[in-house]
Amino acid sequence: MPLKPPLPPRAADPLHGVTLEMAIEHLVERYGWSGLGDRIVVRCFTHEPSVSSSLKFLRRTPWARAKVESLYVHSVSHPRKTKLVPHGGETGLVAETAGKSSDG
């Protein structure tokens, strides 16, 4: 009986082991609901957003789920070098460089 050649290694699936809920939570942590709604324009991200309402919508809407998964894969493969922190008032975020001090 001839031996079968070994299978070529598969490309790692970046979504393997990641639930839709985990992906949403990661994206909300990274971009916030407002930023997520700017990147993927669906009501569940822009009007009274919550993880549970987003899960319900995305499980029934394949095109929107595909966009969320794509953004998740992109955000995981391109980590931020700076951390966004709230800036004074209601508007805007400011980038804070990790480990840098402005005191000199």
pLDDT in tens, 15-33: 889 999 999 999 999 999 9
Q: Tokens 């980590």 identify what position?
A: 79
* Burial of residue 47, with CB atoms counted within 10 A of its CB: 0-12 exposed, 13-18 middle, 19 or more buried: exposed
pLDDT in tens, 24-61: 999 999 999 999 999 999 999 999 999 999 999 999 99
Q: Take residue 60 and report the two structure tokens written for it.
A: 């029934």
**What domains can be seen in the chain, in order of their start residue?**
20-97 (1.10.720.30)
Q: Tokens 């990274």 identify what position?
A: 30
Which pLDDT value is given to residue 100? 46
Q: What are phi and psi of 6, to 5 degrees?
A: -65, 145
What's the whole-model pTM score? 0.68
